Amino acid sequence: SQQGEEDPQALSIQEGENATMNCSYKTSINNLQWYRQNSGRGLVHLILIRSNEREKHSGRLRVTLDTSKKSSSLLITASRAADTASYFCATGSYSGGGADGLTFGKGTHLIIQP
């Protein structure tokens, strides 16, 4: 079963622009994570934000979490061609989700045009 749903499903922007992806979820969570997957590769963990945090930064990445709206956003600033990938949010819940408490969305496919 899917909890997190990313929006949009696909996004195409020019190199140098900022990219914003959103994730919505239905039930309460304890943390939310974002992952990147390049074509044909495994997922790479980008950032984890706990339910009591509102914003986290890591390099060109900024993640926000609004538990009242049950939503999160991932902002990639000054995009580069190498950022072309699929991005997944995953919600962590002690009481729900998969057996390991983590449920992945279906992803946003980001294309950076040179």
Task: Provide the binding-site residues for other proteins, judged by CB under 8 A.
Answer: 1-2, 30-31, 33, 35, 41-48, 50, 88, 92, 94, 98-102, 104-107
Tokens at residue 36, please? 């990147």
* Sequence-distant (≥ 6) Cβ neighbours of residue 82 within 8 angstroms: 112
Q: Taking the alpha carbons of 18, 84, 14, 6 in that order, is the dihedral positive or negative?
A: negative
Q: Which is nearer to other proteins, 44 or 78 (CB)?
A: 44
Compute the least distance from the CB of residue 45 to other proteins, in Å.
3
Minimum distance of other proteins from residue 19's CB (angstroms): 20
Q: For residues 50 and 80, which CB has a smaller minimum distance to other proteins in the complex? A: 50
**Residue 48 in contact with residue 38, Cβ under 8 Å?**
no
- In the complex, least distance from residue 10 CB atom to other proteins, rounded to whole angstroms: 13
* CA dist., res. 34 & res. 3, Å (int): 14
